[in-house]
Amino acid sequence: MYKVIIGLEVHCEVLTNSKNFSGSKNTYTNEPNVNVMPVDIGLPGILPVVNKEACRKALKTAMALNCETPDEIIFDRKNYYYPDLPKGYQITQVTKPFGRRGHLSFLVNGKEKTVDIHQLHLEEDTASLEHYSNYSLIDYNRSGIPLMEIVTEPCIYSADEAVRFLETLRNVFLYCEVSEAKSDKGQMRCDVNISLMKDTDKEFGTKVEMKNINAFASVKAAIEYEIKRQSEILDKGEKVIQETRRIDEDGKTYSMREKVDAVDYKYFVEPNLAPVKLTDEFKEQVKNEIPELEYSRIKRYMDMGISENDAQTIAKEKDISNYFDELIKYTNNISLSTNWLTIIILGSLNKLSISINELNITPKMLANVINLVDKKELSSQLAKQIVYEAMDKKCDPAIIIEKSNIKTISNEDELLNIVNEIIKENPTQVEEYLGGKEMVANFLVGKVMQKTNKQANPATSLKLIKEQLERMRK
């Protein structure tokens, strides 16, 4: 058995109107080479300009990841040649990035895990290449789009931890509204570094890097495949070679290139960009824009007695979690609120293909219904029916309740008459009950509900049915 060591380098495109250093549009389009200006392709004499919005969002993310942030940031030039990098260099950050020494916590299989963040920096995306059998095409639309890179320490120990980290990180981006982070559009992608070591080893083993994986499922597959591959090499007493591998559609990884000596990028401070001051005032402003994040909400919900699973379901999306927080301002029944949100509301959003912001039932309207159910003035069966109807008619459920004069019959005298009728009408079931099949009482409750147009209080009905049948037994 070997200990697995994983470190991730995550790239995420930042949501801005224009590119990082030019006025070209930062939009996703299928038409190639339309969002291109001289700065993006490095024509002679170009002068880049810093994008304040990109800086604000990089700083916001760094703060959300609990990083230390400097008083000024500096951009550096990383020199290398590749066809997708027309300038021959990439503007990135090594000297003073937006954040260092951060951390992000989350739950993995019920246990808290904290991943240390080495640094967060802002750089620019490259162009994209498409390769065909005997030629390649290049699209410069992506060239110069602001890109955040988040580098973790080598402190992730399993595929599950890696995937949960990525999901949590993605939600930091979404909660902070710094990126749409869609992996199918390549807006979020990651490099996975992985090595194995024995428990008794003092130093990490040789790492292998897998580049540019988009889907989280592929991250999991790649890690699992590498654990198997590297274990087999080490079992044979051989050495893992340091290399870059790619993952293929079959879930296996294949060697791309061996890592020769460390590449020398000849970094130097970007001469066309002055350092950018991050004043205390600006930092304070950005910090105040960060909402309560997913993990904090999950813990808050669990402290209220909500299960881990439900807490995660509610906090998965900021708007849904905000709806829930609003809902519980108007009702004290947390468990009913949880069930209504996770089952009825989320189920309906799914079925209607709408977002929670498009739902006509406000948290306050829903709370009113929940409170009636809580006080047993409305059966939950009937309540559901009313809420579905209100969604259909795009109206307040209160209007339907008022119009149809719906109220729950809890009056025992009134119910007793109906219960007695039902007992008379169902002699077979009564005999079954008296013969020991006590579950049959629920069937009789169903009959009472039918007869009363679902207005009977089910709990009271059950109680009365049992009382009457027990009396008959005697």
Q: Which residues contact ligand ADP (rule: CB under 6 A)?
A: 5-9, 151-154, 193-195, 204, 207
| Residue with Cβ nearer ligand ADP (195 or 408) | 195
| Residue with Cβ nearer ligand ADP (262 or 439) | 262
249 vs 275: CA distance, rounded Å: 43
Question: What's 357's DSSP letter?
Answer: G
Min CB(102)–ligand ADP separation in Å: 13
| Residue with Cβ nearer ligand ADP (172 or 465) | 172
Beta strands in 85-226 (DSSP E): 89-92, 99-108, 111-124, 128-131, 136-139, 146-152, 188-197, 208-213
Q: Interior CA angle at 169 toward 164 and 171, to 5°?
A: 100
User: β-pairing, 111-124 with 128-131?
Assistant: unpaired
366 vs 360: CA distance, rounded Å: 10
Token pair of 443 as six digits: 């069937």
The one-letter amino acid code at 95 reads T
Min CB(262)–ligand ADP separation in Å: 6
Token pair of 245 as six digits: 């591998």
| Residue with Cβ nearer ligand ADP (10 or 449) | 10
Min CB(228)–ligand ADP separation in Å: 16
Min CB(245)–ligand ADP separation in Å: 13
Min CB(327)–ligand ADP separation in Å: 40
Beta strands in 253-358 (DSSP E): 253-258, 268-269, 276-277
Token pair of 471 as six digits: 């009396």
| Residue with Cβ nearer ligand ADP (7 or 102) | 7
- Helix/strand/coil for 173: helix
| Residue with Cβ nearer ligand ADP (145 or 162) | 162
Residue nearest to ligand ADP (CB): 7
Min CB(54)–ligand ADP separation in Å: 23
Min CB(62)–ligand ADP separation in Å: 16
Question: Do 158 and 140 meet the contact criterion of CB atoms below 8 Å apart?
Answer: no
Question: Do 272 and 48 meet the contact criterion of CB atoms below 8 Å apart?
Answer: yes
| Residue with Cβ nearer ligand ADP (154 or 275) | 154
Token pair of 155 as six digits: 């402190």
